[in-house]
Amino acid sequence: MSTLLLPSRRRFLQGSLAGASSLALSPRLWARSLGANDDIRLGFIGLGQNGGGRGSNHVGDFGKKKGCRVAAICDADTVVLDAMKKKLVGQAVEYYQDYRQLLANKDIDAVIIATPNHTHTFLAIAALQAGKHVYVEKPVSHNLWEGRKLVEHAAKHPDLIVQHGMQRRSDGAWLQIQEFIKGGSLGKPVVSRGLCYKKRDSIGKIGSPGSAPASVDYNLWCGPRDMAPVHRKNFHYDWHWQWPYGNGDIGNQGPHQLDVARWLIGDPMACPSQVLSIGGRFGYDDDATTANTQIAFYDFKPVPVIFEVRGLPEKDLNFRGRLPTYKGVGVGNILECEGGWVAEGKAYDKAGKEVQKFEKDEGALHQDRFLESLRSGKQAATHTALTGHLSAGLAHMANHSYRVGTATSLDAIKTSIASNALFSETFARMLTHLTDNKIALTGLQAVLGANLSFDPLTELYTGEHADAANQLNRESYREGFTIPNA
């Protein structure tokens, strides 16, 4: 930890920040030059619901780390900011409602981004352009196109660290599991599964669209998205379940498990060439637009990845009851092999007998790794913008398939996937889960997503449904909040 954050030379920014049209910045911003014993000064953008979300957790966690300081905090909601001020009373912290003012602060070395999904990439690139290191929460992007832009901008600034918030990358148990699988005692891998069995109750239904709270700068909150009327009761969290801002649970909790699922099959540095997703929103009628029940098949070779989202409880639509599980896992990963399986930190033979245990820590030192990378100027290949982009990209691919799909009878869906034994079995368990929640299957339809073909090199969809899928993948960006080319 004795090396400099940025070895003895100063760096500068040419050009202005994306989206800074109303707050012009000098075309050259000199970054603060650190000595070996200087604290790393951190700026936090986005605190979360009522000041108690992921961003607020980061403030508390990083604030306890040696060698760094909570120097600045930004949130578009002044009520949330005021709540944080009370927690940090007496500390020398700058507070901003406008992220551009925080990024213009030349004393900030690194930015921690935990805003709604639709602004992750935009803010991360703006921070890089301002000469800041970046820690950006999952998913690092709202679509594949902007995720690739983040990768390109990170490459353009090789002296700046970009780390994603997928903590399991810092849990050494997964490396041990990979070595165990390579040893061959369970035979060859057959399928890598990610599970998000996480109860998500209805977000309710409002009679007519409303407005953002008066304490929110809605222009800044919307960023790239249109300033549309608010169509949800809970402004600060339930955006997760509306397409313009969130990505459903496959893009919320999902990237953690999609990342491990991909990692366990060799960490391929490209997305697969085929994706198919099936699902729907069952059990209630509300203002959400994303699926609460969803399965996705990723045609990686030779080992495919399957992901499952279950937002309903174990049974009876009892949201105070237990979570469902598969092979003992509710939220986590399973690697099925010819002679057994690994479910989270335990390996089992084909008869279900435990044969090995791995001590997991869920990436407890993930934030420390980020700080160490800043000090050393070196970043592990496992923690880069690229790995964050690819794992987030899997969530986006599934959602694109789902969104260009059509409501279809369950029998027709069974027939369409009959040749895929692994996915057929997954779909059958999904239907059992719906039945357990007293959802009648007779006459029920689910969305059969498009079987999308994907070019991993261009990261564009090809073939049937390509135009509609590529349009979802690119989205539109409001003037003043566009994402620049690297």
- 139 secondary structure, DSSP code: S
In a domain, 425, yes or no: yes
Query: Given pLDDT bands bounded at 50, 70 and 90, which one contains residue 48?
Result: confident
Q: How many CA atoms lie within 13 A of 356 on its CB side?
A: 20
What pLDDT does 11 receive?
29
Give me the phi and psi of 374, to 5 degrees please: -65, -40
Return the biggest CA–CA distance within the chain.
Answer: 70
Which of 168, 193, 226 is where one domain is finished? 168
Same domain for 291 and 422? yes
Which of 136, 168, 200 is where one domain is finished? 168
In a domain, 9, yes or no: no
Same domain for 61 and 116? yes
In a domain, 5, yes or no: no
Q: Hey, what amino acid is at 193?
A: R
Same domain for 138 and 80? yes
What pLDDT does 19 receive?
36
Give me the phi and psi of 200, to 5 degrees please: -130, 100
461, with CB counted inside 10 A (0-12, 13-18, 19+), is buried
In a domain, 1, yes or no: no
What pLDDT does 38 receive?
78
Residues 6+ away with beta carbon under 8 Å from 446: 278, 279, 280, 293, 407, 408, 410, 413
pLDDT digits (tens, 9 = 90+) for 374-426: 999 999 999 999 999 999 999 999 999 999 999 999 999 999 999 999 999 99
In a domain, 17, yes or no: no
CA R_g for the chain: 22
Query: Given pLDDT bands bounded at 50, 70 and 90, which one contains residue 53?
Result: confident
In a domain, 347, yes or no: yes
Model confidence at 31: pLDDT above 60? no
Same domain for 254 and 281? yes
Check which CATH number belongs to the domain holding 311 and give it.
3.30.360.10
What's the average model confidence in pLDDT over 64-82?
96
% of the chain at pLDDT higher than 70: 92
Same domain for 122 and 205? no
pTM: 0.92
Check which CATH number belongs to the domain holding 161 and give it.
3.40.50.720
C-alpha 226, offset from chain centre:
22
Describe the chain by its helix, strand, coil percentages, rounded to 5. 30, 20, 50
Same domain for 52 and 190? no
Same domain for 159 and 185? no
Q: Which residue has the higher pLDDT, 26 or 471?
A: 471
In a domain, 416, yes or no: yes
What number of other Cβ atoms are within 10 A of residue 453's Cβ? 17
In a domain, 268, yes or no: yes
Same domain for 262 and 376? yes
Same domain for 134 and 151? yes
Residues 6+ away with beta carbon under 8 Å from 451: 274, 275, 276, 401
The whole-chain average pLDDT of the chain stands at 92
Query: Cα angle vertex 366, ends 456, 271, to 5°?
Result: 10
Same domain for 161 and 194? no
Domain hosting 137: range is 40-168
295, with CB counted inside 10 A (0-12, 13-18, 19+), is buried
Which of 137, 168, 199 is where one domain is finished? 168
Query: Given pLDDT bands bounded at 50, 70 and 90, which one contains residue 33?
Result: low
The whole-angstrom separation of Cα 384 and Cα 369 is 12
Same domain for 54 and 180? no
Query: Given pLDDT bands bounded at 50, 70 and 90, which one contains residue 51?
Result: low
The whole-angstrom separation of Cα 273 and Cα 66 is 44
For the chain, what is the domain count? 2
Same domain for 447 and 328? yes
DSSP letters of 11-23?
-B--SPPTT-TTS
